[in-house]
Amino acid sequence: MLGLIVGFLVGYGVLDGDTQGRVNLLFLLMLFAFLPVIGLILSIGFLIKGGHRGLAGWILELPLLPQHLTAEIINLGLSGSRKSWLFYQTQILTLSFALGGLMVYLLLLIGSDISFVWRSTLLQASDLFPVLNALAAPWFFWSEAQPSFELLTQTQDFRLSAQSVDAPVLGQWWKYIFAAQCTYNLLPRTLMLVISRSRYLRITGAKANPAEPRQSPGILIPDSNTEAKLAPVVYSLIDPYLLLDWAHSPGFCHEHLGNPLGNPVNIFVVEPLAKPLPIESGVESEIQSVVVLVKSWEPPLGELSDYLSFISGQYHKFILPLDWNEDEVTPIREIHLKEWRRFTVTLNGWQLLQLDGST
């Protein structure tokens, strides 16, 4: 739904045209042909490399995620199917965007008279026509949607001169634009959606277990046994400890930990590809505990689970979800604490740490 709405609004913004209702043909081609092809190439690259979060992954990083979806995303990360799920969701999002643009295009064709013109300071009709002709090659069988040099010349617009061409001629580009949308946006994205869905189902084993009830590929329902298990909350640790800041938290958060936990031996800001324990060998023997600081409001996704699995050694290992605003640490919400407890119980050797009175 999000992609459909955004595609509708973006399409309407471009197709609305200028004050005289004229729509720039080059802008339409950029929106309906060139940008979709670039996005398609990126999607194919992600598919071949088998990684990256995709557009859906970046959206999930925003603190806008509905609370009831947090547990499902946690299970995706733990089951190893998160990347394929995000790739699948990205294709749904981009296909919805394409459908939204096509929908508003057809509605405006029916309810208004769109005047297609083109303007360029550098390009002439002789420069642009070969490009338009090459783009139209896939629908060679539709003669009415093929570009013509005469039409291209007639619809060139200059801001400071009056348009002398007959008004009906300005609408003749609609078939070309419609064909470009279907060829370079709608059809490729539909194909990518089919491929990503098949890939997701293959990874999750849905086809290998036809007797089991299938669930929507977009959401995984948490297992009832996992849902009932919550890791206990501890409020103290054994000094000295090392603080790994996964949350990239501000300095006052580190200072806030000093009173209930004491000062850490060292603080390292870490990321998914960082060294598990970025410490010198001489300091390693002094450490008794390792604390990983995370944002309480962000769901624990697969990158964190992968990173924690590489931290070995005879340490007491703690996950510390923390919440804060612009200038101080704030109490963690109960719903967030519950999700982190559910996540921690699935990890071997890890405990959920909280500051006394912070919940």
Kindly give, in sequence order, each residue whose CB lies less than 8 Å from that of residue 140, ignoring residues fewer than 6 positions away: 146
> For the chain, which residues make up each domain, given as ranges?
2-204, 229-353
Contact present, 267 and 241 (Cβ < 8 Å):
no
**Amino acid 139: pLDDT:** 92
CA angle 320, 321, 324 (to 5 degrees): 125
Contact present, 346 and 339 (Cβ < 8 Å):
no
Contact present, 163 and 157 (Cβ < 8 Å):
yes
Contact present, 300 and 74 (Cβ < 8 Å):
yes
Backbone angles phi, psi at 295, to 5 degrees: -80, 125
Kindly give, in sequence order, each residue whose CB lies less than 8 Å from that of residue 132, ignoring residues fewer than 6 positions away: 147, 152, 176
List strand residue ranges (DSSP E) for the chain, in order.
22-24, 115-117, 233-234, 241-245, 266-269, 289-295, 316-324, 329-330, 350-353
Contact present, 91 and 43 (Cβ < 8 Å):
yes
Distances (CA, A) of 13 to 17, 225, 299, 329, 356: 7, 49, 34, 42, 52
Give a three-class secondary structure readout of 155-180: CECCCCCCCCCCHHHHHCCHHHHHHH
**Amino acid 165: pLDDT:** 52
Distance CA 40, CA 216 (A): 24
Distance CA 198, CA 202 (A): 6
**Amino acid 68: pLDDT:** 43
Distances (CA, A) of 321 to 55, 247, 332, 335: 26, 9, 8, 12
Residue 106 three-state SS: helix
Helix, strand, coil percentages in the chain from 3-state DSSP, rounded to 5: 50, 10, 35
For residue 24, give the nearest of 135, 156, 132 by alpha carbon.
Answer: 156
Q: Is 179 exposed, middle or buried, given 0-12, 13-18 or 19+ CB atoms closer than 10 A?
A: buried
**Amino acid 21: pLDDT:** 65
**Amino acid 85: pLDDT:** 73
Contact present, 321 and 359 (Cβ < 8 Å):
no
Distance CA 108, CA 13 (A): 12
Tens place of pLDDT per residue across the chain (359 aa): 777 888 788 888 777 766 666 788 888 888 888 888 888 787 777 666 654 445 544 445 444 444 444 445 544 544 445 667 777 878 888 888 888 888 888 888 888 777 888 888 788 888 889 999 999 999 999 988 898 898 888 888 766 555 555 556 777 888 898 999 899 888 988 988 888 888 777 766 644 444 444 443 333 334 444 445 888 999 988 888 999 999 999 989 999 988 888 889 889 888 876 666 766 545 566 788 999 999 998 888 778 888 888 887 788 999 999 999 888 999 999 888 988 999 998 888 899 999 875 44
